[in-house]
Structure 1
C-alpha cells in the first residue's frame, strides 16, 4: 500500500489535472503550516502523505 501520493495517482483515480494539482498544493500547505514540516515547502516536491489527501477529499483511497 502506497503511503505517498502524487498528481498522477490522483489523475489515475479520475481527477482532472488542475484539480489533482490543487489537492497536492493544499496537502503541502497543510504539511508546512499545520504539521510544521518545512520539508514540504518546496515547489518541485510533488509527493504528499496519503492520509492528508484522504482528509482533504473526505474519501478513503484504495490504490491497489
Structure 2
C-alpha cells in the first residue's frame, strides 16, 4: 500500500506493508562506492519517523563516501 501523500521522502518510494511496517526504496541506485561502504537502497521500520531516520543514515553513508 502506498504511503499517504503527506508522508514522503524525496528520492525514495515509501510503502506501508499490510502489517503496517514502513519500507523506503531509493528511486535511483547509490553509486557502487556507497554500496560497498554499506549504503542500503531499501530500509524498513515500524514508524514513519524511524524510516526517515534510516533513510538519512543511508544517505549520510553515501555522502561520506562520494564527497
Greater share of residues in helix: 1
- Higher Cα Rg: structure 1 or 2? 2
TM-score (norm 2): 0.35
Higher relative contact order (CA 8 A, sep 6+): 1
TM-score, normalization: structure 1? Answer: 0.37
Point out the structure with the larger strand share: 2
